[in-house]
Amino acid sequence: MRRYTLYIYIAVAVILGLLIVLPQILPTYYVGLLTLMLIYAIFAMSLDIILGYTGMFSLGHSAFWGSAAYVVGILNVKVLQESNFPLEMGAGLLFSAIVAAIFGLLVLRTKGIYFPILTLALSLTLWGIPFQMRLFAGGGYGIPGISRPVLNFISWDLSSTTNYYYFVFIFFIIATVAMYFIVRSPFGHALLGIRESETRMQSLGYNVWLYKYIIFIVVGIFAGLAGIMLTYYTNFVGPSQLHILYSFEALLMVVLGGPGTLFGPALGAAIITFAKNIISSYTAHWPMVVGVIYILVVAFFPKGIGNLIKQYLQKRSQP
Amino acid sequence: MLIFLLATGLTLTLGLMNVANLAHGSFYMLGGYIGFSVALYTGNFFLGLLASIFSIWIGGMLMYRGLLQQRFAKEELAQMLLCFGVILIVSDLCLWLWGGYPKFVVKPMLFKGSIHLGSIVLPFYRLVVIIVGAIIAVFLWWFQGKTKYGAIIRAGVDDEEMARGIGINIILVRLLVFSLGTALAACAGFLGGPILGLYPGIDVEVLLMAIVVVVIGGVGSLSGALVGAIFIGLINSFGRSLFPEFAMFTIFAPMAIVLAIRPSGLFGEA
């Protein structure tokens, strides 16, 4: 096992080093792509905590990141008309937590195939709301012109892509470390137990519902964080950010990367984001190609890349 | 009634097979477009209807046979991802072939005009759609509840192994049920063509409607789908005219209330 952990440390160090150094070398386009990768990685990892670790199969993940993004957009453009980063961020995260809390109350009582369907239905209705709210949320056009945070106290200009990349990078590290500790904590182990057998955890005296509810909200906050990062990056929020497309994209990332490993979904996010950008630069029919990718991933990587690597390393490190 | 046609297909596959066909809206859209083209080309409304139903019937069978029946599609997660892949492919295909502008199926001459019932004016075509929907509802109810084939389908749902043990070809049954669901979606897509039109993005809107109806009515229940469809149809049109700013809340709120009180839907089994 010691070699196994050593490999992991080396891999983490190499990836971190690359993530810090690469933006200094790469052209701006690729730095932007890297930023997107990190944002999607936060999003996919947060989905993985409920999907891979807790076994709750949610199709409504875009609801959290979209709603947080909308709060930031409305505050930034319509209410404050200037950048107040701590307030926007706090309000956005709080709102995604509230949305998750409401959704959780409604869906957590259901089991089996009803759970994904309900989360899907709820997030779809949420997607429809901004279309009607023209005055407040810009209707179908969304809210353009969201300014990036102004950090006066350290005079850090976030309008440059490279600087914004490092800004996202900091939050990526914070979120990843936080999620890692959640997964490794007794709380996280209880979640694994719930995934394996809800009944057993119940008879051991765990309040299964409460565990699920808490993790649902926590995950909603992480997804909200990713959504806020994306909104600042694109300077825009529209109904499309609430579209189920993103829920499924995150799902694809998790499945491709390997559910139940935090590293896998991050890798999946990187691969999918990269592939999407490459394909869309070659053909206008990239949705079709992505659709085929969905089918291929399900057919050929049912366990995900992350789990394959994990198995391989574990096998090699055993004497 | 259109919403009912749409939702029955979904509730059939979901309730009778435990497969959530998320590509339901895509079949609605594709069926509508195919029917639209055939009707435009031949100038015959009914040929369009037949073409849309048959092509999507076969399409549904192909999808079930080729994707959902495979070994890798045993889990819900895999099924959903496959369905979403199909959604993306179909929506892009439709955008490619039929373009981005809304298309309206031309109403047949036979059903043009309107009917005056006292002070109410009903467009004749809508009346026809309502009647067709009612006929299909009665037929499905009779088929599922009163015939031998309905009994076979229900047996396959309740205890697949037992049904297989007494010599029922369960794979064929599931294939037929699934494709029947998609054919119903296509039928709704074509009949709705003159009223709602066909445009990119309608697949997801329609999917939302169908899912909400199924959630409210209860999964696998025809009467639930009927009540849910009428309920949502009324609420949606009233909501849109009374509080246009909050039209989506008017769908969201009843769904939340129903879920809070009866998580399995109004007519669902607990």
Measure A29 CA to nearest chain B CA, in Å: 26
Q: Which of A125, A251, A292 sits opposite B251 (nearest CB)?
A: A125
Tokens of residue B268, six digits:
């669902």
Measure A142 CA to nearest chain B CA, in Å: 15
Closest CA to B11 of A173, B3, A206, A167: B3
Domain extents for chain A? 31-242
Q: Which of B14, B82, B244 sits opposite A132 (nearest CB)?
A: B244
Nearest-angstrom CA–CA distance, B140 and B257: 29
SS3 content of chain B, % helix, strand, coil (to 5): 80, 5, 20
Q: Are B255 and A125 a contacting pair at CB < 8 A?
A: yes
Q: How far is residue A36 from each of residues A39, A229, A254, B125, measured CA to CA in Å?
A: 5, 9, 16, 49
Listed by number, the residues of chain B in 42-71 with a beta carbon closer than 8 Å to a beta carbon of chain A are 67, 70
| Rg from Cα positions in chain A | 20
On chain B, the residues whose CB falls within 8 A of the CB of A292 are: 85, 89
Tokens of residue A192, six digits:
């694994």
Nearest-angstrom CA–CA distance, B1 and A182: 49
Q: Does A57 touch chain B (CB under 8 A)?
A: yes
Q: Which of A117, A295, A299 sits opposite B20 (nearest CB)?
A: A117
Chains A, B: CB pairs < 8 Å = 127
Q: How far is residue B38 from each of residues A239, B25, B42, B125, B179, measured CA to CA in Å?
A: 34, 20, 6, 19, 21
The answer to whether B233 and B240 have CB atoms below 8 angstroms apart is no
Give the model's pLDDT for residue B270.
42
**Widest CA span of chain B, in angstroms?**
60
**A43-63: string of b/e by CB count within 10 Å (b at 16+)?**
bbbbbbbbbbbbbbbbbbbbb
Q: Are B248 and A252 a contacting pair at CB < 8 A?
A: no
Q: Identify from A58, A134, A288 which residue to disrupt to test chain B contact, counting B C-beta atoms within 10 A and taking the largest count.
A: A288
What is the percent of chain A with per-residue pLDDT over 90, rounded to a whole number? 1
On chain A, the residues whose CB falls within 8 A of the CB of B252 are: 122, 125-126, 129
Q: Are A287 and B92 a contacting pair at CB < 8 A?
A: yes
pLDDT tens digits, A98-127: 888 888 888 887 776 778 878 887 887 787
Q: Does B260 touch chain A (CB under 8 A)?
A: yes
Number of Cβ within 10 Å of residue B78's Cβ equals 21
Measure A255 CA to nearest chain B CA, in Å: 9
Q: Which residues contact B92 (CB under 8 A, 6 or more apart)?
A: A285, A287, A288, A291
Listed by number, the residues of chain A in 238-267 with a beta carbon closer than 8 Å to a beta carbon of chain B are 243-244, 248, 251-252, 255
Give the model's pLDDT for residue A201.
84
pLDDT tens digits, B83-111: 888 888 888 888 888 776 777 776 666 66
Measure A65 CA to nearest chain B CA, in Å: 19
Listed by number, the residues of chain B in 188-247 with a beta carbon closer than 8 Å to a beta carbon of chain A are 204, 207-208, 211-212, 214-215, 219, 244-247
Intra-chain end-to-end CA distance of chain A, in Å: 9
On chain B, the residues whose CB falls within 8 A of the CB of A128 are: 208, 247-248, 251
Q: Please give the ipTM for the structure prediction.
A: 0.75
Q: Are B73 and A298 a contacting pair at CB < 8 A?
A: yes
> What amino acid occupies position A301?
F
Nearest-angstrom CA–CA distance, A65 and A230: 9
Taking the complete model, does pTM exceed 0.90, yes or no?
Answer: no
On chain B, the residues whose CB falls within 8 A of the CB of A239 are: none
Q: Which residues contact A138 (CB under 8 A, 6 or more apart)?
A: A130, A144, A238
Nearest CA in chain B to A301: B72
Nearest CA in chain A to B17: A113
Measure B7 CA to nearest chain A CA, in Å: 13
Alpha carbon A104 to chain centroid, angstroms: 18
Listed by number, the residues of chain A in 104-133 with a beta carbon closer than 8 Å to a beta carbon of chain B are 105-107, 109-110, 112-114, 116-118, 120-122, 124-129, 131-133
Q: Does A50 touch chain B (CB under 8 A)?
A: no
Q: Which of B20, B67, B84 sits opposite A113 (nearest CB)?
A: B20
On chain B, the residues whose CB falls within 8 A of the CB of A108 are: none
Strand pairing category for A236-237 and B114-117: unpaired
Nearest-angstrom CA–CA distance, B16 and B206: 21
**How would you write the pLDDT of chain A (319 residues) with one tens digit per residue?**
566 777 778 888 888 888 888 888 888 888 888 888 888 888 888 888 888 888 788 888 888 888 888 888 888 877 776 677 788 888 888 988 988 888 888 888 777 677 887 888 788 778 777 776 766 666 667 777 777 777 766 667 777 788 888 888 888 999 989 988 888 888 888 888 888 888 888 888 888 888 888 888 998 999 889 888 888 888 788 777 788 788 888 888 888 887 878 888 888 888 888 888 888 888 777 778 888 888 888 777 777 777 777 777 777 766 5
Supply the DSSP string of B56-107, one letter for each residue.
HHHHHHHHIIIIITSGGG-SHHHHHHHHHHHHHHHHHHHHHHH-SS-B-PPP
**A248-263: string of b/e by CB count within 10 Å (b at 16+)?**
bbbbbbbbbbbbbbbb
Q: Does A217 touch chain B (CB under 8 A)?
A: no
Closest CA to B52 of B195, B184, B198: B184
Measure B171 CA to nearest chain A CA, in Å: 20
Q: Identify from B11, B18, B208 which residue to disrupt to test chain A contact, counting A C-beta atoms within 10 A and taking the largest count.
A: B208
On chain B, the residues whose CB falls within 8 A of the CB of A56 are: none
pLDDT tens digits, B34-46: 888 888 777 777 7
Q: Does B74 touch chain A (CB under 8 A)?
A: no
List chain B residues with pLDDT less than 50: 270
> What amino acid occupies position B186?
A
Give the model's pLDDT for residue B263.
65
Closest CA to A293 of B10, B82, B111: B82
Tokens 């329609």 sit on residue: B206
Tokens of residue A269, six digits:
């996010």
